[in-house]
A and B are shown apart, each in its own frame.
Chain A
Amino acid sequence: MAFSPSTSLNNILGFFLHSFLLTPYFSWQSSHRRHHIYANNLSKDHNYVPPQRSQYSASIFMEINLREDLTEDSPVAIILRILIQQIFGFPWHLATNITASEGSLHKPKSTSVLGNSYFLLHSTLFRPEEAPLILLSDVGLGLVAFGLWYTGAAIGFGTLALLYLQPYMWVNHWIVAITYLHHTHPSLPKFESEAWTFLKGATATMDREFGLVGRYLFHNIIEYHVIHHLFS
């Protein structure tokens, strides 16, 4: 749901608040819009698009059945996977657009370091005409990064890490946890392009319960994801 009926007010506030949390606002807006348009379309969605079994197998240089025999349900493999996802998931997503489908990109997938990222104007994520907005998002990040460096120099970088980095890591953790649980569930289908419609995609997301914190602090983001997709 939108903050207010005024799109420009929403954008201005969103830009400041997202930048403060080191998230590139307009870049995110662009990819999030397309995630909504093509939610759960295996060839066009941006987020949490699973690889086909054959692709996954190739990516880990291992026969898929062998991988499952070796590590399926092994607590060590699962805890490692969760830790990596929760700690590095969000910056990793911003830097490489991981889990996006090939068809969601505007150009063939790039092999350069940040070529698929949210930060470069020529990233495969964006259309050429979006470049000014991507630049603006980067300027926002740069200003906040400078502000953090300036604060760190004044109060000590250790204190800054305790004050800002700690909660920032928790924020990353929640963003990944929330979106992961919205978009993955054993009973949720993902659709091939031919079988996909907007309504099927939007309703193949999952609402979850998160108690008092979900209702009072997180503004029900966890509890109403299906509606978020239906009316967007």
Chain B
Amino acid sequence: MLPPLFLQNISRFKPSYLISFSYLFRDLVFAGMTMAIAYAYIPEVQNALIRYALWMIYGFVEGLFMTGL
């Protein structure tokens, strides 16, 4: 069971513009940069196997960032 004081505090929770926007900004930068880097560099990799592996790793990591958004 949650302590009553904790419940009181959390029910008076007020979101902060600064904190929310900084998280949103961070998420957008992470997702955007990952996509830009993948688009710019992965096609340049000559070895096909490594290129496939990089695309798969990119898909997974970008999936995490996009879910976080």
Please tell me if the beta carbons of B10 and A5 are within 8 angstroms of each other in the complex.
no
Give the number of residue pairs across the A-B interface with Cβ within 8 Å: 75
Please tell me if the beta carbons of A227 and B10 are within 8 angstroms of each other in the complex.
yes
Sample 16 A-B pairs with CB under 8 A, ordered by A number.
Answer: A1-B13, A21-B66, A159-B39, A159-B43, A163-B38, A166-B55, A166-B59, A167-B58, A167-B66, A170-B59, A170-B63, A171-B66, A173-B63, A175-B67, A217-B27, A217-B68
Interface residue? A231 (CB, 8 A)? yes
Contacts A17-B69, A219-B23; A167 near B14 (Cβ below 8 A): no
CA of A95 to CA of B24, assembled, Å: 29
Interface residue? B35 (CB, 8 A)? yes
CA of A219 to CA of B65, assembled, Å: 11
Interface of A is mostly: helix
Interface residue? A195 (CB, 8 A)? no
CA of A219 to CA of B66, assembled, Å: 12
Number of interface residues of A (CB under 8 A): 28
Please tell me if the beta carbons of B20 and A4 are within 8 angstroms of each other in the complex.
yes
Contacts A4-B17, A17-B69; A166 near B64 (Cβ below 8 A): no
A21 contacts across to B, CB distance below 8 A: 66, 69
B68 contacts across to A, CB distance below 8 A: 217-219
Contacts A4-B20, A231-B10; A162 near B55 (Cβ below 8 A): yes
Please tell me if the beta carbons of A169 and B63 are within 8 angstroms of each other in the complex.
yes
Please tell me if the beta carbons of A163 and B35 are within 8 angstroms of each other in the complex.
yes
- Distance in Å from the Cβ of A28 to the closest Cβ of chain B? 15
